[in-house]
Amino acid sequence: MKIFYSPAHLEHEPPQEFEQGRMAPAVEVPERVERVRAEAERRKIGALLPPRDFGMEPVSRVHDAGLVTFLSEASSLWRKRYGEGAPPAIPSAWPGRGMKNRFQGDVESRLGTYAFDTATPIVRGTWSASLAAANCALSAAEAIKSGERAAFALARPPGHHASADVFGGYCYLNNIAIAAQWCVDHGLKPAVLDVDYHHGNGTQSIFYGRDDVLFVSIHGDPSFAYPHFLGFADEHGEGRGEGANLNLPLPMYSAWDAYSWALDKAAKKIRAFGPDVLLVSLGLDSFEADPISKFKLRAEDYLRMGEAIAGLKLPTVFNFEGGYNLDALAAITVNVLEGFESAA
Ligand SMILES: [Zn+2]
């Protein structure tokens, strides 16, 4: 399969994030993509290609103009305020209930207005890396439109936690939502399957009121797992989108038996929707030794996952999302792709 990759992600390298009450070393690091790239080349999954530049139009089809403008200038505003050597931009205050969102405010108030957590720092290279990641997802969708059976957008930062006008969860632009919207705009009917350990709250919220994009997610129950405030089983979509959203939250320590049951339910839903194209939010943090996961999937389970996805018999875009065990990440990512290819 074609693999879309840009070195722009190397410049998005926040050293730290704030979580669990402390500054901690960042886990969403460039080495993630670089290791997967090396493994995909070693196992000959496909040719590595640069993404095409789609410009801002497909991004603006999904994201609020104010968020896009802010992301493009946040780092320079932050450095103007706190100095060229300032640490990454991280919000420290939010408009709580009874306060005002300040979309046109100073850099601190815009950070609090547009970000929903402290795990998503902005550095000098964040914006160009985010655009390149969106272009990788779009290039993968375009490859499908031109007749490819599968394509892999190997990029970071990930995207599935970013909504139309809020960023967070290591995500700035929602790459898979941008690709899904591009598919709609080019006459395709897309279904999104999110297998990241965390619920794809951003993707869900972008398409929640719509019936032209299906969103299905298998993830750690938000009663204990990030993003905490969305991803429950009773979220089915609203208005025209009623029934076009399926959440399959699983309990702590879920292993392949529970996971494959959920995959089966997801597949039934996707088949019933009758899409032309499948877009997979490929997060690998469901792995048993992932530092931030409470699932227990083993390395060989990812081959089965790839096979199950291939069983849907749909042209498929894989879009890289989470997964933080650097020693295992490359092997399990490529396991999904190899399982897919062997069964396709
Ligand atoms: Zn995740």
pTM: predicted TM-score of the whole model, two decimal places = 0.98
Q: Give the angle 88-29-138 at the CA atoms, nearest 5°.
A: 100
For residue 74, is it within any domain?
no
- From CA 285, how far away is CA 295, in angstroms rounded? 8
pLDDT of residue 131: 98
Rounded to the nearest angstrom, the distance between the alpha carbon of 303 and the centre of ligand 1 is: 19
Domain count, the chain: 1
**What per-residue string of b and e applies to 95-107 under the rule 16 or more CB within 10 Å gives b?**
eeeeeeeebeeeb
Considering the chain, what is the average pLDDT of its residues?
A: 97
CATH code of the domain in which 48 resides: 3.40.800.20
For residue 143, is it within any domain?
yes
For residue 196, is it within any domain?
yes
For residue 72, is it within any domain?
no
Positions marked catalytic:
161
pLDDT of residue 77: 98
pLDDT in tens, 291-323: 999 999 999 999 999 999 999 999 999 999 999
Percent pLDDT > 70 in the chain is: 100
Q: Is the pLDDT of residue 21 over 90?
A: no
For residue 114, is it within any domain?
no
pLDDT in tens, 148-174: 999 999 999 999 999 999 999 999 999
Single out the residue of 258, 240, 239, 237 nearest to residue 192, CA to CA: 237
For residue 270, is it within any domain?
yes
pLDDT in tens, 248-288: 999 999 999 999 999 999 999 999 999 999 999 999 999 99
Rounded to the nearest angstrom, the distance between the alpha carbon of 84 and the centre of ligand 1 is: 31
pLDDT of residue 17: 86
Rounded to the nearest angstrom, the distance between the alpha carbon of 321 and the centre of ligand 1 is: 7
pLDDT in tens, 219-258: 999 999 999 999 999 999 999 999 999 999 999 999 999 9
Radius of gyration of the chain (CA): 19
Q: Are 197 and 283 in contact (CB under 8 A)?
A: yes
Domain containing 251: what range?
2-64+125-343
pLDDT of residue 50: 98
Single out the residue of 201, 220, 126, 205 nearest to residue 160, CA to CA: 201
Tokens of 240: 């025209």
For residue 321, is it within any domain?
yes
For residue 80, is it within any domain?
no
